[in-house]
Amino acid sequence: MPRVLIADKLSPAAIDIFKQRGVEADVKTGLSKEDLLKIIGDYDGLAVRSATKADKDVLAAGVNLKVIGRAGIGVDNVDIPAATSRGIVVMNTPFGNSITTAEHAIAMIFALARQLPAADQSTQAGKWEKNRFMGVELYAKTLGLIGAGNIGGIVADRANGLKMKVVAYDPFLSAERAVEIGVEKVELDDLLARADVITLHTPLTDKTRNILSADALAKTRKGVMIINCARGGLVDEKALRAGLDSGHIGGAAFDVFVEEPAKDNVLFGAENFIATPHLGASTLEAQENVALQVAEQMSDYLLTGAVTNALNSPSVTADEAPKLKPFVALAERLGAFAGQMVDVEVKAIDIAYEGEVARLNTRPLTAAALAGVMRPMLAEINMVSAPAVAKERGITVSESKQDDSPIYESLVRITVTTAMGKRSFAGSVMAGTPRIIEVKGMDLDAPFGAVMLYVNNLDKPGFIGNLGALLADAKVNIATFNLGRVAAGEDAIAWWAWTRTRASPWSPRSAPCRTSRKPGRCGFSGSHSEKCEAVFG
């Protein structure tokens, strides 16, 4: 019988589910790290909330661990890379607290519009400042949603019930989905100019960090109210404080902060500012929901191998894994590249498989590609959740397969359809390594790297030299360089990978030329052998 350790407080109903499903569940909360290390080796599963830290030491001691279940969304307390390296599946419960978080945002809007916290404090202090607390109606006001996923959609539904006008900015929101949830899809600048109330419901990524920057806040209507119950760091806190002090921002209500616990913050003390200590998911119902979900998911995995809401594992069998591994890496990296090239609404994503890969189980490959495309805007997305998120946002996903590939043994092509048209990216696996082989219809054989520079330019003499000189001035050491073009003088692309190091001389390395797939045709004009691959530094 599988054994699960419940290390943080969960609803008793979750314990009942484990027992009913035939999983032995031991409840031992408040363990010190030393005590946890002593007993974790006896368990197949570990159920936690946020208190227990499943770090690399705990994972190393958990010699029998197969799954870790987080009753909630965030998994900052779980070392996912270490878990992955040990074959431990990490699951969360991303939808159990959606309603609760949405309701908290609505509550913050009401509290801000009617100045409830300040009015309560004043009244209980024996004052009767009826004329001081003049509020505003929400009826007929415009609510601007930044992020219209699961939680944002619930907020939109509640706001529509209040007879508010709802506009939404979300690059992954389709026109059809916008109609379904009752919002008008707009660009960010339009939202800033029109919204009386702005509420954020997006993950924190490189693209969303400080999405409400000083410049963005300056574009808002005078008197706008800002609500953030999503993630700290979405709003420039210093700029917001300046806006509150100047009177341009009418009020703000935050449940999340850049630094938590927020014992001291630049926003504290500002007039018409409301703060709560990250209470978005703090209701009895939400905690019950996530506990029940994590118990079901962990039981399913331990008893049947079914994987739900896994953050680090595709749904593949043991026999399929070795064959699929390099193609999963290719699909995710190719998708991530495609996602970074898209800044407008994604309407459809098509993944085409040619050659040997078309005869494999492509479902995890498609999931990896979707996760890659959407991850620049949705940091918490994973291979398991990607298909559901795409469906929720009205993105059409299609697969096509062709048994033969004209040039390569296997080829994967991702075509992203946006409001601006279609963009296509293709890749293959060579000697077990993922490579990109086509961008926008142009041949380009290049490896993926941790840091890459992609440039789209006209094919004119001097461009590459000038760009190389700029990189050299910045002390950027070029590692690989690849070119592609439609024809002489027409559309061209350059692909650079590098490491930022000390300035150092470069020379070509001896290896098969990858740029043209034929010796001596790499386009490098310097002295080089017939097997030059134009790799510098």
Helix axes 284-304 and 12-21, enclosed angle (nearest 10)? 20
- CA–CA dist 503, 520 (Å, integer): 28
- CA–CA dist 144, 448 (Å, integer): 38
Selecting among 3, 248, 278, 528, the annotated active-site residue is 278
Pull the structure tokens for residue 115.
């100045």
Tally Cβ neighbours within 10 Å of residue 193: 13
Is residue 380 annotated as a catalytic residue, yes or no?
no
What number of CA atoms fall less than 13 Å from residue 462's CA on the CB side? Answer: 0
Selecting among 176, 260, 409, 530, the annotated active-site residue is 260
Q: Are 360 and 324 in contact (CB under 8 A)?
A: yes
Q: What angle do CA 189, 192, 194 make, to 5 degrees?
A: 110
Pull the structure tokens for residue 279.
């209470």
Would you give the DSSP letter of residue 219?
Answer: T
Is residue 528 annotated as a catalytic residue, yes or no?
no
First to last CA, the chain: 57
Q: Are 172 and 374 in contact (CB under 8 A)?
A: yes
Helices (H) and strands (E) in the chain, counts: 16, 21
- CA–CA dist 495, 522 (Å, integer): 13
Selecting among 194, 231, 241, 485, the annotated active-site residue is 231
CA-to-CA separations, 129 to 115, 118, 182, 253, 273, in angstroms, rounded: 12, 10, 39, 22, 18
**Residue 507, amino acid:** S
Is residue 278 annotated as a catalytic residue, yes or no?
yes
**Residue 235, amino acid:** V
- Annotated catalytic sites, by residue? 231, 260, 278
